[in-house]
Structure 1
Amino acid sequence: MLGGFDCTHWDWEACPVAWQGQYHRGDHYGPTIILKAVASFDLWIWHVFFGMPGVNNDIVVIIASRLFDRLVNGVGPNTSFSTNGVKNEYGYYLVNGNYPDWATLVHIFTCPTDDKRKYYKKKHESARKDIERAFGVFKKRRSIVKHPARIHQVDKIRNVIYTCIILHDMILVDSGRAIYQGERCAGSDDNTKRR
């Protein structure tokens, strides 16, 4: 498993009035900006895409993030593994039911009928909580992200988010909580970070 995959919304208090319609969704109080991330069980946030208007759904965000572009072109990361005698070339991401049926996205059973599916659903939910926990720890450690954004330009807000995520991952490494100590990469289409 490459990690849990999900989106969260950051409230944007200083959103210009002309843009508020495209950044406001009915289930949020005001305008928001979407942060999509992939996090592993050690809370390492290794892929980030930020800046989509809050009105977009998860499918639009996943397509815009270009996370799967290299995989579509056949140059995805070498994460081969075997399960039940079947060799799989690429890793997979755990997602909720809002995402498309792609081979690298593993969904949860909505209504499990037998014990095996119930057990799978329980384990899937348990492992998928890693991304939710990563968002929670990230927001708790960075008070700037906990409160609504008061910056007017999306590019400046993006820089704040990426800086906070780099600091979040550096804290994991310095505290010895990061499991994998090799080279990792997190970023979006044009902004990446490397160790």
Structure 2
Amino acid sequence: MITPAAERKHSKQCIGANNDINVLDNSSLFDDLLDDKAPVAPYVVNGVGFEKGYYLADGIYPQWATFVKSFTVANDAKHAYFKKRQESARKDVERAFGVLQGRWGIIQQPARQYHVNTIRRIMYSCIIMHNMILEDQKMAVFDWNEVYANPSRNMQRTWVERCETQRRKNKEMRDREMHLSLQQNLMEHIWQQVDHEDEDF
């Protein structure tokens, strides 16, 4: 799980000339998903199955199946609690990115002159080294044996087949109903874990 805010911090775009949506439109963030090469990551929330991973996003982002946004206005305790937890998780991810910047100074440097693939390799390298350090210090929080492997895809697709796949995946990614379903089911799932008597809203 990562936030688009963390993703845009290492964009090669000029910081002053882009807002979140411009960066999203120019980002290669969903290229693997559109090309049907993204890892399969099925999960169940509140008894409902979902297949795509998601990013935590703030209100400016579109209602896509790949984003989980908070509520602009929390009408009741359930919505307020979800808003609090979602925003807290976003801050945690952004702080984690700050830790990477602190440990690996190369991430702090301007990246405009780098090719996007170079930036990607730098980021992956820093994340891998950071995780290796945590594992060596017995502080790892993730079992790598549970990582979903991407099943092999047929790379001999014709141009027409690739276009059709991208069209279908793009439609799935921008599915507003799926976004609302994921948001509601996550809210219900989180709410079921609350000790309502002790929680202060």
Change (3 A) 1:125 1:8: closer
How far did 1:103 drift? Answer: 0.8
Please tell me whether residue 87 in structure 1 is matched to residue 85 in structure 2: no
State whether residues 4 and 95 of structure 1, in contact with CA within 8 Å, keep that contact through their aligned partners in structure 2.
no
How far did 1:82 drift? Answer: 2.1
How far did 1:63 drift? Answer: 3.3
Corresponding residue number in structure 2 for 1:7: 5
Change (3 A) 1:135 1:166: same
Equivalent residues in 2 for 1:48-127 (5 A)?
50-54=11-15, 55-127=17-89
Moved more, 105-114 or 164-173: 164-173
Q: Which one scores higher on RCO, CA 8 angstroms, separation ≥ 6?
A: 2
Query: Structure 2: which 5+ residue stretches go unaligned?
Result: 150-201
TM-score, normalised on structure 1? Answer: 0.58
How far did 1:158 drift? Answer: 3.9
TM-score, normalised on structure 2? Answer: 0.57
Relative to its length, the structure with more helix (as a share) is 2
Change (3 A) 1:120 1:60: same
Query: Structure 1: which 5+ residue stretches go unaligned?
Result: 10-33, 37-49, 186-195
What do the CA deviations read for 1:25-47 (whole angstroms, capped 9, x no partner)?
Answer: xxxxxxxxx535xxxxxxxxxxx
Please say which structure displays the higher CA radius of gyration: 2
Change (3 A) 1:105 1:173: same
SS at match of 1:102: coil
Q: What one-letter code is carried by the residue in structure 1 that aligns with 2:133?
A: I
Two-structure CA RMSD over aligned residues (Å): 3.4
| CA distance in structure 1 between the partners assigned to 2:121 and 2:45 by the alignment | 41
Count of aligned residue pairs for this structure pair: 144
Q: What one-letter code is carried by the residue in structure 1 that aligns with 2:3?
A: F
What do the CA deviations read for 1:42-85 (whole angstroms, capped 9, x no partner)?
Answer: xxxxxxxx312212222232333322233234454222122233
